[in-house]
Chain A
């Protein structure tokens, strides 16, 4: 048996031994142990080194509030730092290491920082940042000089760099009642609400439901409270409408009663189940929330209160009763309230000697005296602890007479030999979630604590210690009331269980700090001392929010759990104001640490959605290199063996212009615009007319935004009198859809028009080139494709390989070209038939690179030019601006700034040094490589043009059209590309369109 393990008691399974290591040393524990309880059982007292001073630290608590015993848990190469040892359930093979020590936990060189206490006092970082005002290290240079050393010495655990392969998941849940916390209040609330038929979720951050019932040693209905808890849990398990979530921390309370919770699903398992996530992020929408989150015992602030062996009183009680571990053989207690007497008796029963109960109050009640007598403990009333002794473990303490009203110490210090000192500074309700939910906490002078505010917008009800009702009987009664009202229930609930009343006054004495020589810690995690709080006050940081930020009091994982009230009390005293006037900080999410993985959940790796065209698999099987365009995947090139990207697209574009090429255009946005007012609607959204378009014809259209700038372009096909098929650019499909829906819903509800996304309904193949028509003629049945039947911008319906198709003759490449649309399920079928038919004609497949090359040669615009800053005129599309009708943007498009002659306008560029041009490069009139300046514009798209045999580009250039035929330079200092270009028309190739018109 381990040195501190008790023979009996606790919920650990002594028959199951679990092996783990801490800092490389092998230890054993039992099933049910936390890392903290198992190490404590093994006699370990030193768990970590403090943040700034590297002081040795042991366990302060037994729960989520633990500030000292933060460890790093290793799973293979994956390391997770800053986990409270009190929250780690041990499993076979667990590897944990301590933090913030060098070279080892026992021998830490930075512990010398303790001697330099003044240097590292409050605001150290702020003062250091400022640095001296002159000299070689002036200003922030001093910080940069110091940073290296500080980063190494200060801080907590080191984050890992190995990729975390664990699975994380998100869950959405809905319920009538979410009960947070499963102590007596939470269990009672959940049971009552469930009995009323409500859908209930009960979330408990510990592995076992029951909270204090598991270790309080109280009696409910004549049996141990833990039995009552177990029985209640099994009754809850019998309800279909109840979901029990153990190991689940509710960490955020958001608008609309939406709560965020983290379930640690497999952290306690040696090997997770197949497909099981490590953590599950629960987004819970609850009609009503019952907050039964209990309370935290507060430390007392006195010199040496951080020494290993100094612990919260209830934590020791819990180690004994829950885990069967005694934190000491000779235990002293230091308290300002009655609850420590019960802890003393519990520890006595568990086998420890209680050497003294040091009580700041002059006259403990007779009830407490009899508890002390039962615990065989001497009461030192009107005394306070003024020092602790020992190194990596406690060896003793010193007490002095203390006057609670004046705060003064008197008389000689008396030494007491003890290996464990338990402190109790009163209790603070865990109001974090209520504070997040929006209301300000209220100070209760009797309880010396902030009690939860009244709910404002959010629908929650508090119960038990959360309300400052610290007794079990109150918890169960309030829990039942909360359960009943949250479930909207009226029927009489079952009788209350009979709870043996625990003796004691819930109100502590208003004593938070014992002022004596030595460091007295308020925030253990950040090494913030009482003197730091006073220093902040002297330096003018008197608002609680400033105090928090200046001293780091209550930040990081602490979130005010231990330090909040003592820190405020000390500040209030310094200010000479009562605590309620000082106020408290508002708690914000998260309540405790949340894994980033759980927030990302399923959205990682290949699980981000991919949009695939109907011909995707064909492209992959036929040598395409895919390119992701937004969520879509599109072929970039179909490279042959040994080809570079440029060689491939040049070959593809050249072959298209010489014979024919085919490209997958299924990604184009397609919107069905249907209804009696469809033509009128299109007249309003496009700059040009669509009501005059004949059925069976298509037209190129341009849309502006309300502010008169260009928005999107595409062709729209009139399939019937009231039936149009609009196409948009791939990138803008969603935006155009929302734009149309907005106008139909909000601006013109009188129009009878429906718009529906049919992008995915149609597979599209664009086939272009001198041989394109011959290829279609070879495979299309049911219609002719000659110039009369299918003129430019005409539409015909026919079949290819038995599949109905719709063919529109339009061109993006500048060649005679056709877009062939079929049902998406037939896309590959039609595509393959076209490829087959094209073989005798030298048809090639081409990708986005060749598509882009041919559109640059033609000077067509895309999103690179319609960039949200250009107008129709800038892009030489003013011929599309109808003067016969108003349209979206028509009123704003002629504003002075939008028609100025020196605006950036679309031009073509030809590289005069025969070197490639770069997208984004600036255009300048005169080259100054060492001091690039006076940009005239920039390149939007560039390529090597096989048709021209030159490197060309499209660019937006100031007063562009007037510069045609002039020379300028590209200036691209980042890529060191400078060189002469000629500014030309954007229509490089076949400017009169004779090729596409045939």
Chain B
């Protein structure tokens, strides 16, 4: 049997991912839904007291400088990072292989690296009604002053755990467990029908 090299990863959304306009789009498309499919999604976690060293390591590897404070984050240049728990960060890169880069930078004295590149599915919602649609799912405040650009939040919609990063004034990247991703996507589409949505 001939071996295929570097096969493409299968998206859990595949059978329910229908590009095009849907719902009440005749009155305009108010949100755009897409799957960003980053190559790497990592969880980095520092031992208490080693948070600053971990933040330094993140800057060295990704070039992203984390702002101070709980839930702080920054996104840009195909990469993103945000805090989601004390001493814990999610780091995302368009490219694969981020785990091996961090396995050297994050020494056992600093903390741990856990590769979740397959285990989390990244869904992006953008548009003027993004906050409105997300408010149907999550009991957190999506208004810009309460949830600034770059910041991250950990929250739950019923059984679906989600990490959310605001990556623009009206754009959010949502990381959900892969096994729930299809269900969540369907619910997201359903909730977006009212405002008209486009899948890209």
Contact = CB atoms under 8 A, between A and B. Distances in A.
Given A174-B141, A274-B23, A801-B3, A603 B158 contact: yes
A754 B111 contact: yes
A801 B3 CA distance: 5
B119 A761 contact: yes
Given A756-B114, A760-B178, A610 B136 contact: no
Nearest to B138: A172
B88 to A, nearest CB: 8
A169 B9 contact: no
B120 interface: yes
Interface in A563-610: 602-603, 606-610
Interface in A799-825: 799, 801-803, 823-825
Given A172-B138, A172-B140, A273 B4 contact: no
Q: Determine which residue in A275, A803, A836 has the highest number of CB atoms from chain B within 10 A of its CB, and name it.
A: A275
A174 B143 contact: yes
A273 B10 contact: no
A625 B71 CA distance: 43
Given A169-B136, A801-B3, A823-B9, A760 B112 contact: no
A602 B111 CA distance: 40
Given A603-B158, A610-B182, A617-B15, A170 B116 contact: no
B179 A171 contact: no
Contacts of B112: 674-675, 722, 754
B194 interface: yes
Contact of A825 (B10, B24, B141): B10
B159 A609 contact: yes
A277 B138 CA distance: 18
Nearest to A633: B179
A187 B133 CA distance: 28
A275 B136 CA distance: 13
A199 B143 contact: yes
Given A761-B118, A824-B178, A631 B10 contact: no
A836 B1 contact: yes
Contact of A779 (B1, B10, B14, B136): B1
A752 to B, nearest CB: 5
A755 to B, nearest CB: 10
Interface in B1-35: 1, 3-7, 9-12, 14-15, 23-24, 26
A274 B193 contact: yes
Given A824-B119, A837-B1, A170 B7 contact: no
Interface string A760-800: 11110000000000000011010000000000000000010
Interface stretch (A177-185, A293-301, A496-504, A826-834): A826-834
Interface stretch (B58-66, B73-81, B184-192): B184-192
Contacts of B111: 754
B51 to A, nearest CB: 13
A202 B132 CA distance: 17
A804 to B, nearest CB: 11
Given A609-B159, A676-B108, A760 B45 contact: no
Contact of B12 (A283, A612, A632, A756): A612
Nearest to B193: A275
A756 B43 contact: yes
Contact of B158 (A606, A609, A674): A609
B139 A283 contact: yes
Given A274-B193, A283-B139, A801-B3, A752 B119 contact: no
A23 interface: no
Contacts of A833: 1
A709 B133 CA distance: 45
Contact of A609 (B141, B160, B191): B160
A996 interface: no
Interface in A526-560: none
Contact of B116 (A173, A722, A758, A802): A758
Q: Determine which residue in B115, B159, B178 has the highest number of CB atoms from chain A within 10 A of its CB, and name it.
A: B178
B5 to A, nearest CB: 5
A737 to B, nearest CB: 11
B146 interface: yes
A614 interface: yes
B18 to A, nearest CB: 15
A828 B139 contact: no
B136 A171 contact: yes
Contacts of A779: 1
A827 B14 CA distance: 14
A614 B13 CA distance: 10
A264 to B, nearest CB: 15
Contacts of B159: 609, 631
Contacts of B186: 606-607
A173 B136 contact: no
Given A171-B135, A607-B187, A802-B3, A275 B10 contact: no
Nearest to B47: A752
A826 B190 contact: no
Contacts of A761: 115-119, 178
Contacts of A824: 12, 118-119, 178
Nearest to B114: A756
Contact of B119 (A609, A632, A760): A760
Nearest to A174: B141
Nearest to B182: A612
A602 B119 contact: no
B194 A273 contact: yes
Contacts of A762: 118-119
Nearest to B22: A275
A359 B118 CA distance: 79
B200 interface: no
A967 interface: no
B179 A613 contact: yes
Contacts of B178: 614, 760-761, 824-825
Contacts of A672: 114
Nearest to B140: A172
B179 A760 contact: yes
Q: Determine which residue in B5, B143, B194 has the highest number of CB atoms from chain A within 10 A of its CB, and name it.
A: B194
Interface in B113-172: 114-120, 135-136, 138-141, 143, 146, 158-160
A374 interface: no
Contact of B190 (A607, A613, A757, A802): A607
6 contacts: A275-B195, A609-B158, A612-B12, A803-B7, A825-B178, A837-B1
Given A602-B190, A608-B158, 20 more contacts: A170-B136, A171-B135, A172-B139, A174-B146, A275-B192, A275-B194, A283-B139, A609-B187, A631-B159, A674-B112, A675-B108, A722-B112, A756-B116, A761-B119, A761-B178, A763-B118, A801-B3, A802-B4, A802-B6, A829-B10
Interface of A: 169-174, 199, 273-277, 283, 285, 602-603, 606-614, 617, 631-632, 666, 672, 674-676, 722, 752, 754, 756-763, 778-779, 781, 799, 801-803, 823-829, 833, 836-837
